[in-house]
Amino acid sequence: MLSFSAFESPQADFEPPVPPVAIHMLGSFALLKNGDALPVRSGGKTETLLTSLALHAHRRVPRATVLAEVWPEGEVELSLQALNSLLHSLRRLLADALGGEPPVTCFQGSYQINLAAGVSVDHARFDELAAEGDLFARTDPSLAIASYERAIALYGGDLCAGDQHAAVVERERLRARYLTLLVRSAFYYYENHDVERAMHLALRLLAHDPYREDAHRLVMRCHVIQGERAQALRQYRVCLQILRDEFDAAPEAATIALYDQVRLEPGSV
C-alpha cells in the first residue's frame, strides 16, 4: 500500500506551562517530571500501574482491578505488598514536584491519578481541548481551531494501553476523535484560503487513514489552487490505487467528478 509522510500539525500560538508530572500514553509511554523524561522500564510494573490508572484518569479504580491488571498471576497478599511498595516509590520520586502530594491517591480501597495535585495525562488533556473547541465551534471558529490544534499537537500516536477491552475501545474512540479534529481544521483553513495549512492537515489525516476520500479531494483542490494540476491528478491516482488494493472498490462519485473537473476544467475548481 502507498503511504503518506506524517506532518507535524501547526502549533497554536498559546504555549501551556509544563506540568510538574506528566504521563504520556499517546504514541508511546513516558513519565515526565518538570518536562524531563524519567527512566521507566518498558512493560514494567511502574508503566503497567500508571497506564492502568491513567486510562481511567477521571475516576477511581478499585484495588481488585489494579491488582488483576498489574499482577494478574500473583497472590493477593504479595500483590498488595508490591502495590504499596510501588506507590511509595512513586511518591518518593514525584512528590517534590507536586508540592509534597502523592501522584496516586487512595480512597476507600480505590486508586486514582492525582490530577488535582498537577499530574497531567495526555489523552485526558486531548479530550479536554477537543471539548473546549467544540464549545467554541458555533460562536468563534477561530478559537475552536486553536483548541483543536493544541489537541492535535498532543496526539503523538494511538493510545498505548494494552489490548484489554477497555483499552481497545478507548484507543479507537480517541483515534476517531483525532481524525475528526484533523478534517475540521483542514477544511477550516481551506475555507479561509490558507491552502498550505489545509493541505498540511489533510496529508496528516491521510497518514492515519488513507481511505478518507474527503481528504484526498481536499488535497486535490489544494494542488489545483497552487497551480499544480498534474499533482492533483496524481493524488486521484493514489486514491484510486489504495481503494482498489484494499477494498477492490472504485472511488465515490464526488471523487470521480472532481477528477474530471480537474482534468477538463481546472479553473472551475
3-state DSSP assignment of residue 107:
strand
Domain that residue 66 falls in: 21-121
Q: 108-164: per-residue pLDDT in tens?
A: 999 999 999 999 999 999 999 999 999 999 899 999 999 999 999 999 999 998 888
Please tell me the total count of domains within the chain.
Answer: 2
Asked if residue 6 has pLDDT above 50, the reply is no
Residue 58 lies in a domain: yes
The reported pLDDT for the residue numbered 2 is 36
* Strand ranges of the sheet holding 119-121, from the earlier edge strand across to the other edge: 36-37, 30-33, 21-24, 119-121
| Residue where one domain finishes, among candidates 64, 98, 121 | 121
Q: Are strands 104-107 and 36-37 parallel, antiparallel or unpaired?
A: unpaired
Residue 169 lies in a domain: no
Residue 4 lies in a domain: no
Residue 143 lies in a domain: no
Residue 8 lies in a domain: no
The reported pLDDT for the residue numbered 1 is 33
Neighbouring C-alpha atoms within 13 Å toward the C-beta of 12: 19
What is the C-alpha to C-alpha distance for residues 37 and 74, in angstroms, rounded to an integer? 30
Q: 187-230: per-residue pLDDT in tens?
A: 999 999 999 999 999 999 999 999 999 999 999 999 999 999 99
Q: 223-244: per-residue pLDDT in tens?
A: 999 999 999 999 999 999 999 9
Residue 185 lies in a domain: no
- Give residue 15's pLDDT band: very low, low, confident or very high (50, 70, 90): low
Asked if residue 9 has pLDDT above 70, the reply is no
Residue 95 lies in a domain: yes
What type of residue is 126? Answer: F
Residue 26 lies in a domain: yes
CATH number at residue 89: 1.10.10.10
Q: Calculate mean pLDDT across residues 172-195.
A: 97
Q: Calculate mean pLDDT across residues 18-23.
A: 96
The reported pLDDT for the residue numbered 14 is 53
| Residue where one domain finishes, among candidates 74, 99, 121 | 121
| Residue where one domain finishes, among candidates 104, 121, 138 | 121
